[in-house]
A = this chain, B = another copy of it.
Amino acid sequence: MATVKLITDAEAEKIPAVKEVFDDIRAARKTDFINNFWRAMANDPALLKRTWEGLKAVMMVEGNIDPMTREMIYIAVSIANSCQYCIHSHTAQARAKGMSDETYGELLSIVSLAAQTNHLVTGMQVPIDPEFVA
């Protein structure tokens, strides 16, 4: 029930700008599977390309944060923003990158504790301690 149609591989073959990104996704991820997010985005080839390039630059680079933790931060934001698809896709990816059931439980504990204290702090409008300002 998407608001756009999902571009099939057959359709992608006919749109070079889409085919190029789909090919790059497959090569970068070493899988033939293209998930629905990209098939929906393919309705706007420029947006598809920009988003994929952004994702590669942020999620698929070497850095201080390891790949599994990147997915876990992604999940945290997606929960707070109530994005059902994102929660499903990034939980699957975090698991594929090694997140155990125990680590997932820790993640949910932190996310839900943060939400609880976020609402307490916002409710009481607690003033920022000068000690927290650099």
Q: Footprint of B on A, CB under 8 Å?
A: 1-6, 33, 35-37, 40-41, 43-44, 46-47, 50-51, 54-55, 57-59, 63-65, 69-70, 72-92, 100-129, 131-134
Contacts and interface: CB of A to CB of B under 8 A. Distances in A.
A110 B2 contact: no
A74 to B, nearest CB: 5
Give the number of times this chain occurs in the complex, counting copies. 6
Given A40-B124, A123-B111, A124-B2, A118 B88 contact: no
Contacts of A124: 2-4, 40-41, 108
Given A83-B121, A108-B44, A113-B59, A36 B127 contact: yes
A129 B93 CA distance: 13
